[in-house]
Structure 1
């Protein structure tokens, strides 16, 4: 379930699927996108996204990730967030893994609780994140931490994330809401201009077709199928690079 509310001029979206650690499937990604659009139509001045329970978002629901539909729903939801003309804050209350980390970095600002961790363990399951995610991650955290997350499958805790810039502040949901409330009082046209300028200057038009082909190849690879089989058989995957 995805819940929404408006507090003064700040919209709040809560991933409320704590029995699955707020994992995302196509249904919940579509609901997330609808929630963002609903609050945008209500003309909130800032938006906060968080998770219920102990996790921000544990990533893709592995029962439903295997197909193009998940990718379409995921990147559609992320683009809806990045396209908003108002600042979006992620209150990262716990682990933000895989798609959860992508959701966090799609937001403009991140407030990380002491229990927050960030990870993008695609190399453990034969998958890949799209080039936008890699560029955004490197812009926010720097090349070194991005390589550690993507190539070393390392986890970054809240303090490490704050030091490298992946998290802007450490604190609770209340802290994130207080910051969002402050931001909601700023000049909307200035905020909108800054968002557009930051994206157009640092995240210009996409990459070439070769990168798209390499990304798609991961999702269609034998290694990805092997990862699914290994998970079902409760063993380590045997990757062969094809």
Structure 2
């Protein structure tokens, strides 16, 4: 299988690209595997998700044997949106190079933890290719306009430490560090996290949009709100249930 998925007892789902012989390059099968993996972690009740790659690469980008076909583009963007729209925190454990589609997959996540050998690049102008507007806007949102221009117009390759300094990466560390962070996030209030994600990601929605307003009200009328109050009074860790 091109993608492995599991949900642990800590309620953290792991989605691992497993084509190390191709440096985890994305083909149609892998993209479809990502979509299926997202559906599985949702069905099994994961409260946070780690996305990573087997071997020494996170994802070397698109498999050039398929990249020029319309079917590949449809599969790629379905996979990216499946990761992006998960209602729980997604941490990309960038364990090595994240080139092209690999950078796209990393920024589809909410947070990024990069290992020492990680690098990011979107060299579309060198190849005569293009990424969709969502990718460009998302990169600008995550890393700022300067970094987005450096990657997309300057065709720079950015290493882990520089990516961290520029905000493209949130923490420096290993896959284990990313999993530990995800386990911590899995213990937080799910409705609040989902609401925060909606507001951050849906920049197309006004503050008064009914979708955002309902998500906001749901947090304030939830049983988790009372659990948080009681747990604080009792000086214990709250047991949030997402309702």
TM-score when normalising by structure 1:
0.82
2:91 is matched with 89
1:65-144 equivalence runs, <5 A: 65-144=67-146
Tell me the alpha carbon deviations over residues 178-209 of structure 1, each in whole angstroms, 9 at most, x when there is no partner.
00000000000100110111112x3559xxxx
2:40 is matched with 38
Whole-Å separation in 2 of the counterparts to 1:204 and 1:64: 35
Residue 196 of structure 1 pairs with residue 198 of structure 2: yes
Residue 83 of structure 1, CA deviation: 1.2
Tell me the alpha carbon deviations over residues 56-81 of structure 1, each in whole angstroms, 9 at most, x when there is no partner.
00000001111111110011111111
Tell me the alpha carbon deviations over residues 192-235 of structure 1, each in whole angstroms, 9 at most, x when there is no partner.
110111112x3559xxxxxxxxxxxxxxxxxxxxxxxxxxxxxx
Aligned length: 204
Q: Paired residue for 2:165, among 156, 163, 166?
A: 163
Whole-Å separation in 1 of the counterparts to 2:205 and 2:133: 12
Whole-Å separation in 1 of the counterparts to 2:205 and 2:120: 25
1:19 is matched with 21
Residue 5 of structure 1, CA deviation: 1.4
Unaligned runs of 5+ in 1: 206-242
Residue 144 of structure 1, CA deviation: 1.0
Tell me the alpha carbon deviations over residues 88-119 of structure 1, each in whole angstroms, 9 at most, x when there is no partner.
01000000000010000000000000100000
Whole-Å separation in 1 of the counterparts to 2:142 and 2:22: 28
Instruction: Sort the Cα spacing of 1:129 and 1:147 in 2 relative to 1 into closer, same or farther, 3 A.
Output: same
1:7 is matched with 8
Unaligned runs of 5+ in 2: 207-243
1:47 is matched with 49
TM-score when normalising by structure 2:
0.82
1:59 is matched with 61
1:183 is matched with 185
Whole-Å separation in 1 of the counterparts to 2:102 and 2:66: 15
Whole-Å separation in 2 of the counterparts to 1:171 and 1:139: 23
1:221 is matched with none
Whole-Å separation in 2 of the counterparts to 1:91 and 1:140: 16
Whole-Å separation in 1 of the counterparts to 2:22 and 2:204: 33
Q: Runs of 4+ in structure 1 displaced over 4 angstroms?
A: none
